[in-house]
């Protein structure tokens, strides 16, 4: 298949490009490098199975030739206002990527009678009242909070995708992605994994906002990409959670990173003044993925963190 991936130079988009090429497909990558990095796809330069267009998906998309699949991954994805790549710091771009970008990407799929996969997010559940979160849960999200530009853009994107499926008969998929980590995350993107690892590698205490009791569930990137591919190749049109159901508190996560790296400077706690709508618990129910896709994550947290830490350590010496 010839696959268009928007956000192809991003953390997930670049890994997805690699995976699809190994499966024998050709990839048309698209990115405007607002949050993606040319480094993530530099190794694909000259690969006959990869072509690239620098383009903002919120503008009309034209791809010459037939496209068999469109996978819409373009969006800022960091909630930390301390990062310049955070969606609270790119609010209009985030909304446009989720709304106009989804509309334009669906247009390419419709014009080519192609399969369409939307990269949605666990953030559509907001600060959930249901735990763990099933796909049938409608969510508990603040429509005007700091996170709303991302949450509501993705909720709109899901609604638009289903509208194209129901009204135009488009062959669509929706993946709800939970916290993912691994090589190619931006060192300065503001998410908890890069923050903690870089602080530990620099022998600094790890900064926790609040008491650290809030939880996340971290999935290694190779597991996530495999799950996304299985969903793409399935016949499921309704949303599917892809993530690791092993829940861990932020405090425990910080302690594990300090242990692996050997950072003895410990942890400091600060009042959480960044985002008032920070979810307190986040854990996917992956029963649907297990049943429909025969998928579940394989990488344990310690092994995945070791690989990720090696990547960030290599960035320190560059």
Is 92 part of a structural domain of the chain? yes
Per residue in 153-196, pLDDT (tens digit) is 999 999 999 999 999 999 999 999 999 999 999 887 778 899 99
Q: Tokens in use for 117?
A: 């996969």
Is 172 part of a structural domain of the chain? yes
Q: Tokens in use for 197?
A: 């690892």
Q: Tokens in use for 266?
A: 């410990």
Whole-number Å distance between alpha carbons of 45 and 16: 16
Give the number of C-alpha atoms closer than 13 A to the C-alpha of residue 270, restricted to the C-beta side.
9
Is 136 part of a structural domain of the chain? yes
- The residue from 150, 164, 181, 229 that is catalytic is 150
Task: Quickly list H helices, 186-249.
Answer: 192-201, 221-232
Active site residue 150: yes
Whole-number Å distance between alpha carbons of 152 and 94: 10
The answer to pTM > 0.85 is yes
Is 292 part of a structural domain of the chain? yes
As for how many domains the chain has, the answer is: 1
CB 156 within 8 A of CB 99: yes
Is 106 part of a structural domain of the chain? yes
CB 281 within 8 A of CB 215: yes
Is 253 part of a structural domain of the chain? no
Domain of 176?
2-181+219-245+283-297
Which pLDDT belongs to residue 134? 95
CATH (domain of 123): 3.40.50.720
* CA-based end-to-end distance of the chain: 37
Per residue in 208-230, pLDDT (tens digit) is 888 888 888 999 999 999 999 99
Position 52 pLDDT exceeds 60? yes
The enclosing H or E element of 165 equals helix 148-168
Is 201 part of a structural domain of the chain? no
Work out the burial of residue 70: count CB atoms within 10 Å of its CB; fewer than 13 is exposed, 13-18 middle, 19 or more buried: buried
Query: How high is the mean pLDDT of the chain?
Result: 92
Position 147 pLDDT exceeds 90? no
Is 265 part of a structural domain of the chain? no
CB 77 within 8 A of CB 150: yes
Angle between helices 148-168 and 91-98 (to 10 degrees): 10
Per residue in 81-111, pLDDT (tens digit) is 555 556 667 889 999 999 999 999 999 999 9
Position 277 pLDDT exceeds 80? no
Strands (E), 97-246: 115-121, 172-177, 180-181, 206-209, 215-217, 219-220, 240-242
Which pLDDT belongs to residue 191? 82
Whole-number Å distance between alpha carbons of 119 and 172: 11
Q: Tokens in use for 191?
A: 């998410």
Q: Tokens in use for 74?
A: 């373009």
Which pLDDT belongs to residue 121? 94
The enclosing H or E element of 31 equals strand 26-31
């Amino acid at each position: 298949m010839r696959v268009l991936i928007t956000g192809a130079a991003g953390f997930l988009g670049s890994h997805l490009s690699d995976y699809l090429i190994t499966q024998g497909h050709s990839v048309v990558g698209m990115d405007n490098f607002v949050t993606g990095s040319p480094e993530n796809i530099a190794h694909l330069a000259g690969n006959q199975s990869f072509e690239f267009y620098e383009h903002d998906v919120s503008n009309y998309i034209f791809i010459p030739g037939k496209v068999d699949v469109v996978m819409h991954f373009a969006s800022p994805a960091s909630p930390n206002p301390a990062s310049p790549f955070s969606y609270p710091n790119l609010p209009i771009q985030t909304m446009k990527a989720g709304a106009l970008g989804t509309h334009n990407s669906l247009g390419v799929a419709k014009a080519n009678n192609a399969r369409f996969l939307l990269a949605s997010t666990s953030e559509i559940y907001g600060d959930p009242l249901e735990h763990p979160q099933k796909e049938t849960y409608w969510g508990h999200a603040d429509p005007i909070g700091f996170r709303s530009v991302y949450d509501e853009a993705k909720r709109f994107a899901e609604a638009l995708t289903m509208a194209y499926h129901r009204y135009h008969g488009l062959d669509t998929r929706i993946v709800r992605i939970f916290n993912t980590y691994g090589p190619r995350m931006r060192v300065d993107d503001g998410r908890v994994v890069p923050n903690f690892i870089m602080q530990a590698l620099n022998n600094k205490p790890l900064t926790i906002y609040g008491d650290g009791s809030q939880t996340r569930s971290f999935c290694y990137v190779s597991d996530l990409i495999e799950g996304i591919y299985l969903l793409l190749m399935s016949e499921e049109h309704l949303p599917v959670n892809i993530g690791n159901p092993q829940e861990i508190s932020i405090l425990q996560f910080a302690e594990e990173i300090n242990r692996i790296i050997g950072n003895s400077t410990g942890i400091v706690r600060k009042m959480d003044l960044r985002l008032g709508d920070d979810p307190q618990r986040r854990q996917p129910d992956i029963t649907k993925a297990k049943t429909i896709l025969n998928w579940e994550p394989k990488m344990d947290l310690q092994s995945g963190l070791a690989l990720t830490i090696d990547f960030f350590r290599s960035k320190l010496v560059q």
